[in-house]
Chain A
């Protein structure tokens, strides 16, 4: 396995940033990590990329121990940190060539590895990296992380602050990299991106609460879910929450996702809403998505680690 973590623990003072996290990422697999800010995703990344030492537990990347063989690991991984970390005062081309040299390769020889990422940047080669748009910065960072043919790719929230079109392009590129057999660990705050991963882990308070294929996770959804749709649906959140059998009501795009611990009769709910004076709305059973699963898990506050 290119990426393995076994009960990794990282503490900063009293705070346990990463709490006994175990995961495996296989060749040609995209493993997504999602969870709120401060859940410990970046700390986990820093341990696996050998930037920080774990306090407990062990890990192997590209077959080498993250505690002892970090110099070997560093040759074999690509890392995109959670903030844009290239030289803003160097041009696109200068950044790429510099990082290629740092990893002991030449752009010319390895250009095939980054062609699909770098080609859109070609017209802007002479532009300073700091003057690129979010989407282009992220492509450049990915190109720099890929140029030395890494066996494992660590992408820490690579699409934060990037427009929707660029995000889609980015994922298309990730799929192509995956097809070359690279193991990819990617953190994302976006649930739609999380759903695109082969497997997914949900992190909260340093713990990996659950992991599995997105569909498996959705299948484990413990509650009953309904969607409420209306003009300006968010105005009725409080009303929905006041209903005694509603467990939770949260915004999901334009709609409100309403969950309950036991099945609801939609017709009862419609009646309740009409009595409250809402006329034009829909209330239907709905299929949970990753976000619903995550919210339910956080609610339970009973972290469970499952091997998928």
Chain B
């Protein structure tokens, strides 16, 4: 039996290695996605256009504006006199950020009051926006140093930054992208490629030959999906590794818990792939079903790109049946917060339930006879 099983796994690897499309999705896609998102996050900005709405126009506010221009990160696109102009500039796409300096800026600073400084960024490009805010933060810190030295005091006046994103106020952490990419890649490989490969055997009639062989169907299925499980797992590790190594993703939680979570999601995705493949006859319908039924929800409803909190209520409800949503919660909890099972039991239970449910249905649907 072990020999037969090995023959199956070997055969499946041949299929994967000899099909360029599959190979690209398997090996190219994860890296392409990580680099794409990573690049968007870590882009160094040179001369990002900034508008300043200086309501104070005193010596200190002028020095701050000079500082903003000095670093080379920002270039002053316009000095405006009202907030409406800021909005107009944003709409025209001429600025990436606006700084609103309150009245009596210098005066307040001298009196060591907390001075609220408003930053407006374009939330439709959240990654850029976040980076800009952190750059500006740097600049304001240095400005404060300078101020402190000028005053000759130990007491540092405070500027409190109030960054606000226009268009996308509920933006979450940039660390979203690593769990999101893992979810997408695992869905692609475990669900889509598996359903495609089974549909291909149906389409070409080879599944019939396997079915009338003396092999137990369970062995046929496991032999078929195991290579995909292995490759999915390898990809998950690679993405986590790249996220940590290249982009400074934090990993605070337990490694075994993280790896088991990835495995759980792989099995869930696999059960969905199997479910699809028991229902379709051709690769085309398998592709369509997994794109519409799995990939779209994974990308759109999981909170990966669009925050769930800002969805309309019906979609928020629908997002609960998206396995990726629970996986992303799980992954973020483990990696960024270091949470354990006592906190994250709900996503684990939900994913287990989904996997079990679809495995059972697929098992019932997978016939020894083809009707």
Which residues of A pack against B, CB within 8 Å?
46, 49-53, 70-71, 74-75, 77, 79, 81, 83-90, 94, 97-99, 101-104, 144
Q: Is B11's CB under 8 angstroms from A94's CB?
A: yes
Q: Is B14's CB under 8 angstroms from A51's CB?
A: no
Q: Give bound CA distance, A83 to B206, whole Å.
A: 10
CB B210 to nearest CB in A, in angstroms, measures 7
Q: Give bound CA distance, A52 to B4, whole Å.
A: 25
Q: Is A90's CB under 8 angstroms from B14's CB?
A: yes
Contacts of B205 in A (CB 8 A): 81, 83-85
Contacts of A77 in B (CB 8 A): 212
Per a CB cutoff under 8 Å, which of B4, B206, B214 touches A74?
B214
Q: Give bound CA distance, A89 to B4, whole Å.
A: 19
Per a CB cutoff under 8 Å, which of A87, A101, A144 touches B15?
A87
Say yes or no for B369: interface residue by CB 8 A criterion.
yes
Contacts of B7 in A (CB 8 A): 97-98, 101-102
Number of B residues near A (Cβ < 8 Å) is 23
Q: Is B369's CB under 8 angstroms from A51's CB?
A: yes
Q: Is A87's CB under 8 angstroms from B213's CB?
A: no
Q: Is A99's CB under 8 angstroms from B214's CB?
A: no
Q: Give bound CA distance, A71 to B213, whole Å.
A: 8
Contacts of A94 in B (CB 8 A): 11, 14
Contacts of B371 in A (CB 8 A): 52-53
Q: Is A103's CB under 8 angstroms from B370's CB?
A: no
Can you list 17 A-B pairs, Cβ within 8 angstroms, ordered by A? A49-B212, A50-B369, A51-B211, A53-B369, A74-B214, A83-B204, A85-B206, A86-B206, A86-B209, A87-B11, A89-B15, A89-B18, A94-B11, A94-B14, A98-B11, A99-B209, A103-B214
CB B171 to nearest CB in A, in angstroms, measures 45
Contacts of B212 in A (CB 8 A): 49-51, 74, 77, 79
Q: Give bound CA distance, A182 to B170, whole Å.
A: 73
Q: Is B369's CB under 8 angstroms from A89's CB?
A: no
Contacts of A90 in B (CB 8 A): 11, 14-15
Say yes or no for B312: interface residue by CB 8 A criterion.
no
Q: Give bound CA distance, A102 to B4, whole Å.
A: 6
Q: Give bound CA distance, A104 to B3, whole Å.
A: 9
